[in-house]
Amino acid sequence: MNCQKWLALFLILLPVGLSSVFAYQYFFITEASKFSAGLVIKHSLHDVAVTGMIKPKSVIFQNFTLDINFTVTNVGIYPETYNFTFKANSTELFFSGIEQMAGDSANMTFSWNTTSFAKGNYTLNAYAEPVPEESCLSDNTQISWVIVSRMGDVTGPNGYPDGKVDMRDIGSVARLFFVSHSDQMYNPDFDVIYDGIINMKDVGLVARHFGEMEG
């Protein structure tokens, strides 16, 4: 279902004593709503959503920590209580109960320590559990991905870590030497220390693992 909503405004005549006053009533309706002889048939106005998931890097070394930021929003018009979960593949990493008034947003940060995770590609799933009477579910989930690699393995022939640390990895980091996060050339995946600038600390870390590969 298309979650785009439109604001409908209605003029209602209310009798008060010998005179009348006019009052306005408004609410959101979905595009799927139908109008017939002035009658509005509207869908549920309960709607919670994951409105943001930001990961600073797409490649993280095993035994390192990745901070992931989430934003969840009550985009309906009623107060809501619901659950938020974050998973890497099928492993639940983070859970939080959320209470929000209409229109409120909440920001959360989860620090994912990859020490106990095998090297590989992980699908990241941020999910706001639907509330009762919620009909628009397409905004309840955001999906992303990250690669957990061996120390020093930042790239390969196809642009992704290939299980070994060679001159391609060292060269990729060295070519961005002294590029900082404010530069358009900056690539956070090559800022392996992740301190906002690519320098000898990054080159040196990769170089120390030169020649290592998957057994």
Question: How high is the pLDDT of residue 211?
Answer: 97
| Residue pair 127/84 in contact by the 8 Å Cβ criterion | yes
pTM above 0.75, yes or no: yes
Distances from the Cα of 117 to the Cα of 150, 169, 212, angstroms: 11, 22, 19
Q: 125, 86 in Cβ contact below 8 A? A: yes
Q: What are the structural domains of the chain?
A: 5-41 (no CATH), 48-149 (2.60.40.10), 167-208 (1.10.1330.10)
Report pLDDT for 45.
87
Is the pLDDT at 98 greater than 80? The verdict is: yes
Between CA 132 and CA 46 the distance in angstroms is: 7
pLDDT on residue 140: 97
Whether the pLDDT of residue 56 is over 80: the answer is yes
> Is the pLDDT assigned to residue 183 strictly greater than 80?
yes
Residue 199's identity, in one-letter code, is N
Non-local CB neighbours of 204 within 8 Å, separated by 6+ positions: none
Grade residue 214 by pLDDT with cuts at 50, 70 and 90.
confident
Q: Within 13 Å and on the Cβ side, how many CA atoms surround 179? A: 17
Q: Is the pLDDT score of 59 beyond 70? A: yes
Mean pLDDT, residues 102-109 taken together: 96
Q: Where does 58-212 show beta strands of DSSP type E? A: 59-61, 65-74, 80-88, 91-100, 105-113, 120-128, 141-149
> Residue 4 — pLDDT band, cuts 50, 70, 90?
low
Q: Are 50 and 142 in contact (CB under 8 A)?
A: yes
Tell me if 100 sits within 8 A of 76, measured CB to CB: no
- Three-state DSSP at 167 gives helix
C-alpha–C-alpha distance, residues 96 and 83, integer Å: 6
112-126 tens-digit pLDDT: 999 999 999 999 999
Q: Which residue has the higher pLDDT, 4 or 214?
A: 214
- Locate 132 and state its tokens: 């009762």
d(CA 51, CA 141): 9
Write out pLDDT tens, residues 185-206: 999 999 999 999 999 999 999 9
pLDDT tens column, 16-55? 443 333 333 334 444 444 333 343 334 458 999 999 999 9
118 CA to centre of own chain? 22
Over 90: is that where the pLDDT of 3 sits?
no
